[in-house]
């Protein structure tokens, strides 16, 4: 196996208890990383990963400032005082019902923005403020990888709240942070992996609808939906200073070459 230089690197992965999060935890562990696996309320999904001294499970509600601060304390204490060197922001909320802006409730809008964007701000701020626990001779390992979405590039009718939260991560936040983080660690990097549909249990019921699958693949030359590993391997590559040490401020689209949204079917015109 090619050495990605992630051995003994302390990586905190948010939203780790299912789907892409579980794949990320498994892959980072396979590279010898020390992993703090964050979950919001139910850690049951993480039971599929064997217990190890290299794995710490930590709960936090990312909407709550105090809990996010506690998360990083527990991560550090769980790894014997070792600070977090790589942050993977994977958690996200999306309402499964379609809600056009004219019908969207303020409650839904606030929930999505609070979890996906404000929660990410709290996580990044706490991450930056604990970087003094990372020794100078390891600060070249520091990296942030956000999970974006095709919704942040193309928009998402019926889910403008989600699309806005992802656009903000992929452009405003990532591009600002990559310029700020180097004042704390000169070789630190910030990048984004932005997938389209991923075949996970959370969306299995939606993907059982052939029309949903058709619309997802209509402008996708590879004619396939992503598996969690398709996305997780790109996160691993961007987190690796060995592979991506001169890559920062980039958005890697993992969407099979998608060119946009299919807005109209023949019957609609």
Q: Write down the pLDDT at residue 2.
A: 75
Confirm whether 250 is domain-assigned. yes
Please indicate, yes or no, if residue 260 is contained in any of the structural domains. yes
Please indicate, yes or no, if residue 1 is contained in any of the structural domains: no
Whether 267 shows a pLDDT value over 90: the answer reads no
pTM for this one?
A: 0.96
CA dihedral defined by 211, 215, 218, 219, rounded to 10 degrees? -170
4 occurs within a structural domain: no
Q: What pLDDT shows up at residue 205?
A: 80
Cα diameter, the chain? 62
Q: What is the CATH number of the domain that holds 196?
A: 3.40.50.720
How many independent structural domains does the chain possess?
1
> Closest by alpha carbon to 134, among 263, 253, 4, 34?
34
| 206-248 residue pLDDT tens | 888 888 888 889 899 999 999 999 999 999 999 999 999 999 9
Confidence of residue 1 (pLDDT cuts 50, 70, 90): low
Question: Given its phi and psi angles, is residue 220 left (phi above 0), alpha (psi -120 to 50 degrees) or beta?
Answer: beta
Active-site amino acid positions: 162
CA distance to 12, 19, 72, 74, 88, per residue, from 81 (Å): 14, 29, 11, 9, 20
State the residue for tokens 């905190």. Answer: 12
Please state the rounded mean pLDDT for residues 51-67: 96
Lowest mean pLDDT among 22-31, 45-54, 118-127, 132-141: 45-54
By the 8 A CB rule, do 202 and 91 touch? no
| 97-122 residue pLDDT tens | 899 999 999 999 999 999 999 999 99
**Residue 5 counted as domain residue:** no
Residue 265: CB atoms within 10 A of its CB come to: 11
Q: Does the residue 110 lie in any domain? A: yes
Residue 266's pLDDT is what?
74
Give bridge partners of residue 59 from the DSSP assignment: 39
Domain assignment of residue 133, yes or no? yes
- Reported as a single tens digit per residue, the pLDDT across 157-174 is 999 999 999 999 999 999
- Evaluate whether residue 102 is within a structural domain: yes
* Domain membership of residue 55 as a residue range: 10-268
Average pLDDT over residues 56-72: 98
């Amino acid at each position: 196996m090619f050495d990605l230089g992630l051995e003994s690197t302390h990586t905190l992965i948010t939203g780790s208890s299912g789907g892409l999060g579980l794949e990320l935890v498994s892959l980072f562990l396979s590279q010898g990383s020390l992993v703090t696996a964050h979950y919001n309320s139910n850690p049951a999904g993480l039971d599929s990963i064997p217990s190890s001294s290299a794995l710490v499970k930590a709960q936090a509600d990312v909407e709550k400032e105090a809990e996010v601060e506690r998360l990083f304390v527990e991560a550090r204490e769980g790894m014997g005082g070792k600070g977090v060197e790589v942050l993977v922001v994977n958690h996200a909320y999306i309402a499964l019902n379609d809600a056009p802006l004219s019908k969207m409730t303020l409650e839904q809008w606030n929930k999505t923005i609070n979890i996906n964007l404000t929660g990410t701000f709290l996580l990044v701020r706490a991450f930056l403020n604990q970087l003094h626990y990372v020794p100078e001779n390891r600060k070249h390992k520091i990296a942030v990888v956000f999970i974006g979405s095709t919704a942040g590039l193309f928009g998402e009718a019926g889910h403008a709240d989600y699309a806005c939260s992802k656009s903000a991560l992929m452009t405003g936040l990532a591009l600002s942070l990559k310029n700020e983080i180097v004042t704390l660690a000169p070789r630190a990097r910030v990048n984004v992996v932005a997938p389209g549909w991923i075949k996970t249990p959370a969306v299995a019921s939606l993907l059982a609808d052939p029309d949903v699958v058709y619309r997802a693949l209509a402008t996708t030359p590879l004619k396939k939906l992503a598996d969690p590993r398709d996305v997780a391997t790109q996160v691993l590559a961007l987190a690796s200073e060995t592979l991506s040490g001169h890559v920062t401020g980039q958005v890697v689209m993992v969407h099979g070459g998608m060119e946009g949204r299919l807005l109209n079917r023949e019957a609609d015109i």
